[in-house]
Structure 1
């Protein structure tokens, strides 16, 4: 009787051991599966993050494409690589001087749009071209800056032989009296000019005095930059 009982106890212990081992194995598998699931979720989160980043990149690209339609304030223009590297006029090849066609200058006492122009002269020893919008930044007497927006005008190519001075940077400006109530005047002191597709600029002193209506945050300001033209 005792022998049978001892044998039954040993068998029961063995079975319990097997069950325990099996339970442990199941627990391990469950832990491994949970870990794998978390890794998958982490991977999915990365994929989701990548997807958001891709959407963001698309939005940035769309914004850049929209900006190229006339609202940019820098000197970058959508021209061919050959035009921007081999033929274009570089900043160091140009002289800059104030004065529109026939020596015209803006009437800063007027309260309607005027034109302020800068003549570009090819001071280099090669023929070069200008096409597009320059970057123009106004600096006020108090140090405020205003990057002018572009007009919705299609540019044309201007060819300058050595010594030619027929290219013009033309700004349309909206003068206002300095003391006009209910307006904020911008008092120009200097102008930074960057030729189309260049990265270096020249600084000119504003020679006309007066003030223009401060519309630095306006979508369609009365003061803006036109493409390089012939004067």
Structure 2
């Protein structure tokens, strides 16, 4: 009997120890959980506090950045404004550089362009830009025929003149129309062609490539007409 009592007692002790161990384990787990919860809460608070700090920092930094941006914006705006001004200035300079075509920059030639059956003769005068830069040309050139009876100025046709940027090395032309001498007489002999580019005062004298004479007129007006630069073609 004593052996059985001892066995029961040993089993009771073992059970008690096992229960205690379980309780201690649960307590430890609870403690661990409790400790973990505050830690997480503390971490959360720290994070929250850090977040506030970061947020405050960020807000302050944002305010500074905003101020800096605003200031930079003003500065940038100033730069942009200055840049725009510079760009506009550059554009203006670029446009200013494309000045008018000067007589000395142009190679001026003339050729007969009369087509059989036309009622009038046509001479085409060509301007070739040899100035090493682009230039602007527009309007009517001055045209005078030198004759044995004196100088005869061509009359403008009245066509609309357009402005053209004549690239370096490129050409543009215009027509000079004149009546044929069908009078049977000697007429007025043409000895030369004087051309003054638009908006210029310097002229060049060329050989006249058209018919040798013009009919004698009653002096009521010029029988020779000139079209605007860029309008070369029969009839101006």
- Under a length normalisation based on structure 2, what TM-score does the superposition of the two structures give? 0.51
What is the alpha-carbon distance in structure 1 between the residues aligned to residue 149 and residue 193 of structure 2?
12
Gap regions ≥5 residues in structure 2: 1-94
Would you say 1:117 and 2:124 are equivalent positions?
yes
- Check the 8 A contact 2:175/2:231 in 1, yes or no: no
| Matches of 2:98 and 2:217, distance apart in 1 | 37
**How far apart are residue 194 of structure 1 and its match?**
0.3
- Residues 1-16 of structure 1: pairs in structure 2 closer than 5 A: none
Asked if 1:87 is matched to 2:89, the reply is: no
Residue number in structure 1 paired with 2:165: 159
Q: Name the counterpart of 1:187.
A: 189
Instruction: After TM superposition, give the deviation of residue 112 of structure 1 in Å.
Output: 1.7
**Residue of structure 2 in register with 1:202 after alignment:** 204
User: Are the aligned partners of 2:153 and 2:224 in contact in 1 as well (CA < 8 Å)?
Assistant: no
Structure number with the bigger relative contact order (C-alpha 8 A, sep ≥ 6) is 1
CA distances 1:144-182 after superposition (whole Å, capped 9, x unpaired): 1101111121111122111001x11311111114x625x
Tell me, yes or no, if the aligned pair for 2:121 and 2:211 is still in contact at 8 Å. Answer: no
Residue matched to 1:139? 146
CA apart distance, 1:226: 0.9
> Are 1:150 and 2:162 an aligned pair?
no
Aligned length: 138
* 1:218 CA drift (Å): 2.9
Equivalent of 1:169 in 160, 170, 174: 174
Instruction: Quote the RMSD (CA, aligned, Å).
Output: 2.9
Name the residue aligned to 2:76.
none
Tell me if structure 1 keeps the 8 A contact 2:98–2:136: no
Contact preservation (8 Å) 2:122, 2:210 = no
Which residue pairs with 1:32 in the alignment? none
Match of 2:63 in 1: none
Q: Deviations over 1:183-219 (max 9, x none)?
A: x822211011000110100000112342223448334
Please tell me whether the aligned partners of residues 126 and 162 of structure 1 are also in contact (alpha carbons under 8 angstroms).
Answer: yes
Q: Which structure carries more helix by proportion? A: 2
Q: How far is the alpha carbon of 1:230 from its aligned partner?
A: 5.2
Would you say the 8 A contact 1:138–1:192 is kept in 2?
yes
Q: Which has the larger radius of gyration?
A: 2
Q: In 2, Cα distance between the equivalents of 1:95 and 1:230?
A: 18
* Change in 2 beyond 3 A, CA 1:127/1:206: same
Q: What is the alpha-carbon distance in structure 2 between the residues aligned to residue 135 and residue 205 of structure 1?
A: 16
Counterpart selection for 2:108 from 76, 96, 104: 96
Gap runs ≥5 in structure 1: 1-82
Query: C-alpha separation between the residues in 2 aligned to 1:84 and 1:188?
Result: 40
